[in-house]
Amino acid sequence: MIERYSLPDMAAIFTDEARMQRWVEVEVTVLEALASVGIASSDHAAACRVHAPTVDSAFVREVAERERVTDHDVAAFVDVLQQKVGMPHGAWLHHGLTSTDVVDTAQCWALRDAADLLIEAQSDLIEALIELARAHRDTPMIGRTHGIHAEPTTFGAKVALWALQLDRDRQRMMEARANIAVCKLSGAVGTYSNITPDVEAHVADYLGLIPVPATQVIARDRHAEYLWACASTATTLESIAVELRHLQRTEVGEVREGFKSGQKGSSAMPHKRNPIAAETITGLSRVVRSHLTVGLQDVALWHERDISHSSAERIVLPDASLATHYMLRRMVRLIAGLEVDTEKMRVNLELLNGVVFSQSVLLKLVEAGATRDDAYRIVQDAASKAMAESRSFRSVLEQNSSLGLTSAQLDEAFDMKRVLRYASRAVEALDHLK
Active-site amino acid positions: 146, 266
How many C-beta atoms surround the C-beta of residue 158 within 10 A?
20
CA atoms within a 13 Å half-sphere pointing along the CA-CB vector of 153:
18
- 296 burial via Cβ count (<10 Å: 0-12, 13-18, 19+): middle
Cα diameter, the chain: 104
Q: Does the bond joining 53 to the residue before it have cis omega, within 30 degrees of 0?
A: no
- Indicate the SS3 state at residue 12: helix
Cα–Cα distances (Å) from 151 to 144, 332, 360, 372, 428, in that order, read: 7, 29, 10, 19, 21
Cα–Cα distances (Å) from 142 to 135, 396, 404, in that order, read: 18, 21, 28
How many C-beta atoms surround the C-beta of residue 138 within 10 A?
14
User: How far apart are alpha carbons 171 and 119 in whole angstroms?
Assistant: 9
Query: String of b and e for 200-231 (b: at least 16 CB within 10 Å)?
Result: bebbbeebebebbebbbbbbbebbbbbbbbbb
User: How far apart are alpha carbons 115 and 269 in whole angstroms?
Assistant: 41
